[in-house]
Amino acid sequence: MLKVGLTGGIGSGKSAVSAALAGYGAVVVDADAIAREVVEPGTPGLSEIIAEFGEGVLTPDGRLDRPRLGELVFADEARLARLNAIVHPKVGERSGRLMEEAVASDAEVVVYDVPLLVENGLESLYDVVVVVDTPDEVRVERVSGDRGMPREQVRARMAAQADRETRLAAADFVVDNSGTREDLSDRVAELWRELLERAP
């Protein structure tokens, strides 16, 4: 089984690449989806976040208000570190369980969709690292257009992540996503062939 670490900054199109790889038959372990799961209402994760950051990070219906929490932590490294200390161990534990299920299912390729792979120095956990690369300004336009996030907020999130050069230096494969959806589709098809060649 080939363990693939897939990463890319906010707005790079990493989720589209991950979905396409799942379509080819890869088992995808999505760290973002798991990070949402471990802070659902009623979880220990959400209780710890409320204890650390206060009730102000909740929506009226008791869910985590991600944009509000993002405003608090992305501009403050110490607060971001405290949030990560709550969420990351829980994500690691859940990912481990999903990995065991993937092994049991005899999957050829398991893709870990990990936004902060480079930032957290996780390269050595994977057989190959795939980086989805998109120019910074294109990412700002995409996120502000698609998610309605103010450009300054997008830039603040980008500043909290590894820069483009650092991410590219960690890559075994780079998927350029500066073009159209069709271009991306062709690149992912090419990537899938390469991954299958590498799979034991």
* pLDDT > 70: percent of the chain: 100
Task: Output the DSSP codes for 83-134.
Answer: HHHHHHHHHHHHHHHHHHHHHHTT-SEEEEE-TTTTTTT-GGGSSEEEEEE-
Specify the residue for token string 């979905």: 19
pLDDT tens digits, 98-149? 888 888 888 899 999 988 899 989 999 999 999 999 999 999 999 998 888 8
Mean pLDDT, 10 residues at a time, the chain of 200 residues: 94 94 94 91 97 96 93 90 94 86 87 91 95 95 90 90 94 96 96 94
Q: What integer pLDDT is reported at residue 151 of this predicted model? A: 92
Residue 96's pLDDT is: 85
Instruction: Supply the pLDDT for residue 123.
Output: 95
Domains of the chain: 1-26+107-200 (3.40.50.300), 38-106 (no CATH)
Q: Give the per-residue pLDDT at 147.
A: 87
- In angstroms, the Cα distances linking 74 to 48, 62, 69 are 18, 22, 8
Distance, first Cα to last Cα, the chain:
6
**Whole-structure pTM over 0.85, yes or no?**
no
